[in-house]
């Protein structure tokens, strides 16, 4: 695919700075939950059968027909406030990792803030503890956006994204160079973010 963009509107991966907030636009985990429904590793359809028809449809749609955040991306790029940005196609862990690699920074994410749709949370309850967070962090194929923005500009950016018809959520903070990549779990435990998500070879 080829395209063009005004140079001033191109947001790269290498501009994140310590103290920037990490923001996700869109939802995380529903596509991975939808794949789980489609594969139904229970072997007898028992997992899918435990979900309501509405939740099954919602999750399968998220996996089969993800909706990229094009309007929000254009709004963010035009605002000039994002310091770095990437789409979340490989999973948040992998994609925020790309920003960290390019920018030479660390990151801390807060699991409780991840924008996980209710249908994915309900499905995760049938799989195991922290499954919703695992899908959100490592599942991929959500085509949400992950971006970094100075703390002074977060509220304005959230308002701009809302006006573009999407939802933006502050999920963490960029750490200085040399700091690890970590996630604060729902129970307050801090763990290394690891290298989950899809890895291109």
Domains of the chain, residue spans: 15-28+67-190
**Relative orientation angle of helices 30-39 and 53-64, to the nearest 10 degrees:** 110
Q: Which two tokens stand for residue 118?
A: 């209710």
- The pLDDT tens digits for 126-180 are 998 899 999 999 998 999 999 999 999 999 999 999 999 999 999 999 999 999 9
The pLDDT, as a whole number, for residue 199 is 53
Instruction: List the single range of 1-15, 18-32, 33-47, 125-139 with lowest mean pLDDT.
Output: 33-47
* DSSP-derived 3-state class of residue 158: helix
Cα(182)–Cα(175) distance, rounded to whole angstroms? 10
Residue pair 28/92 in contact by the 8 Å Cβ criterion:
yes
Residue pair 101/84 in contact by the 8 Å Cβ criterion:
no
Q: Is the pLDDT of residue 53 over 90?
A: yes
- If you count them, how many residues does the chain have? 201
CB neighbours of 49 closer than 8 A, spacing ≥ 6? none
Question: Whose CA is closest to 62, among 39, 87, 23, 29?
Answer: 29
User: What's the whole-number mean pLDDT along residues 177-190?
Assistant: 91
Q: Is the pLDDT of residue 200 over 60?
A: no
Positive/negative CA dihedral, 108, 110, 114, 120: positive
The pLDDT, as a whole number, for residue 6 is 82
Band (34; pLDDT cuts 50, 70, 90): very high
Q: Is the pLDDT of residue 5 over 50?
A: yes
What Å distances lie between residue 53 and 45, 59, 156, CA to CA? 13, 10, 38
- What is the number of alpha carbons within 13 Å of residue 198 lying toward its C-beta? 10
How does the average pLDDT of the chain come out, rounded? 92
Query: Alpha helices, DSSP H only, in the chain?
Result: 30-39, 46-50, 53-64, 70-79, 92-103, 118-124, 131-138, 154-163
Cα(70)–Cα(49) distance, rounded to whole angstroms? 34
- Say what the alpha-carbon torsion angle 60, 62, 67, 73 is, to the nearest 10 degrees: -170
Cα(1)–Cα(14) distance, rounded to whole angstroms? 23
Q: Is the pLDDT of residue 197 over 80?
A: no
Q: Is the pLDDT of residue 201 over 60?
A: no
Predicted TM-score (pTM) of the model is: 0.91
Q: Does the domain at residues 15-28+67-190 carry the CATH identifier 3.40.50.720?
A: no
User: What's the whole-number mean pLDDT along residues 85-95?
Assistant: 95
């Amino acid at each position: 695919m080829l395209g063009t963009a005004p140079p001033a509107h191109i947001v790269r991966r290498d501009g994140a700075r310590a103290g920037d907030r990490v923001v996700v636009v869109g939802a995380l985990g529903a596509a991975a939950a939808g794949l789980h429904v489609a594969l139904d590793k229970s072997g007898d359809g028992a997992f899918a059968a435990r979900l309501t028809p509405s939740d099954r449809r919602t999750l399968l749609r998220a996996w089969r027909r993800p909706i990229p955040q094009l309007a929000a991306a254009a709004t963010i790029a035009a605002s000039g406030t994002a310091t770095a940005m990437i789409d979340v196609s490989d999973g948040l862990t992998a994609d925020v990792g790309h920003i960290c690699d390019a920018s030479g920074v660390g990151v801390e994410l807060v699991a409780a803030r991840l924008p996980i749709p209710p249908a994915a949370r309900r499905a995760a309850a049938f799989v195991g503890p922290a499954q919703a967070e695992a899908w959100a962090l490592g599942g991929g194929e959500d085509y949400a956006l992950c971006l970094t923005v100075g703390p002074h500009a977060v509220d304005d950016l959230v308002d701009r994204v809302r006006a573009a018809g999407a939802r933006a959520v502050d999920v963490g903070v960029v750490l200085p160079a040399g700091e690890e990549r970590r996630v604060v779990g729902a129970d307050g435990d801090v763990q290394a973010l690891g290298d989950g998500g899809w890895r291109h070879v």
